[in-house]
Structure 1
Amino acid sequence: MTGTATLSKAPAATVIRADYGNADHAADIVKMLRAYAMDPMGGGEDLSSEVQENLVPGLAATPAASSLLAYVDGQPAGLANLMTTFSSFGGKPLLNIHDIVVAKDFRGSGVGRALFAEIETIAQEKGACKVTLEVLEGNIPAKALYASLGYGDYVLDPEMGKALFWQKRL
């Protein structure tokens, strides 16, 4: 399924569901994730050659994984790596946006909104009860986009505060 969104003063972004077996899609997934990794919001360092080599085969081997690619005039402009899991409290699937990136030259042009439109279509197709994502506190432009689309803090009980995203590296 393909979605199209009109960008202000820019060509429309075409969003496709990536095929991990398609060499062009695989190359664009790696290219976009490298751009994200090298951005300050992605840590500011390139992906190792091992990660670059294992990225698409690893996604392909993960049944819960799917990816979207956004193109503008044939150029890769955005990527969303998604993971479908299950909400124990909702009793239905949930769709987690594991990675989302818009190439620097296309930020503010509607590519992110086009990706989110397709993400929400996929969530509806899966009967998901929600879409989740993580965002850095300092990523003000991303937070503004997400809030404008209806995303917000995860809170069960306001007295207990917001949920936090923690990790332990292995």
Structure 2
Amino acid sequence: MNIERVDYANEKHASALLDMLNHYAEDPMGGGESLSAATKAKLISEMAKRDTVFSFLAWNDDGEAIGIVNCVEGFSTFAAKPLCNVHDIAVREGYRGQGIAQKLFDAVKAEAASRGCCKLTLEVLSGNEPARLSYKKYGFKPYELDPEMGQAEFWELKI
């Protein structure tokens, strides 16, 4: 198994990224639906346009993509430094529980450090206990400024 930074101009990488992301999207923890044709058609070119977006793929010894992580650099106003948001992370069924997510996080952490990021962030569904355990094992924890005020929640407003 090896971890490789995605080159969005590389057809093999692009195809594997779309396949892995669609695999994740079809999982109940990813929403349970395939990516739309429109998303599949433009995702790679849109990611390639942004120098704040980067991805890694995990490959098995047969050259099959078995894990993916997509990241987006953001900015921490409290630290006045960039931060790295782990936007998607998924490991193919049959390969889970083998430390692949941990190795993907190692690659992300190294890239984030090279960019001067102050932290990694991610969102996780409260019912996704296997992912929550994996993230805790790596050192992630729920975000809170003051324990009396509670943990931060991730909200959205679609546009």
Moved over 2 A (4+): none
Q: Distance in 2 between matches of 1:14 and 1:91?
A: 34
1:83 paired with 2:72, answer yes
TM-score normalised by the chain length of structure 1: 0.91
Paired residue secondary structure (1:106):
coil
Counterpart position of 1:17 = 5
Counterpart position of 1:142 = 131
TM-score normalised by the chain length of structure 2: 0.97
Higher strand share: 1
1:38 paired with 2:26, answer yes
Q: Distance in 2 between matches of 1:128 and 1:62?
A: 17
Q: Distance in 2 between matches of 1:158 and 1:15?
A: 37
Q: Distance in 2 between matches of 1:31 and 1:105?
A: 16
1:122 paired with 2:122, answer no
User: Structure 2 counterpart of 1:38, which letter?
Assistant: E
**Structure 1 portions without partners, runs of 5+:** 1-12
**Structure 2 portions without partners, runs of 5+:** none
Q: Distance in 2 between matches of 1:159 and 1:110?
A: 34
Paired residue secondary structure (1:27):
helix
Q: Distance in 2 between matches of 1:67 and 1:112?
A: 13
Q: Distance in 2 between matches of 1:168 and 1:148?
A: 31
Q: Distance in 2 between matches of 1:58 and 1:144?
A: 32
Counterpart position of 2:15 = 27
1:48 paired with 2:33, answer no
For the aligned residue pairs, the C-alpha RMSD in angstroms reads 0.8
For these two proteins, the number of residue pairs brought into alignment is: 158
1:152 paired with 2:141, answer yes
Paired residue secondary structure (1:159):
helix
Distance apart, 1:89 and its partner CA: 0.5
Identity %: 44
**Structure 1 range deviating more: 27-36 or 110-119:** 110-119
Distance apart, 1:110 and its partner CA: 1.5
Counterpart position of 2:88 = 99
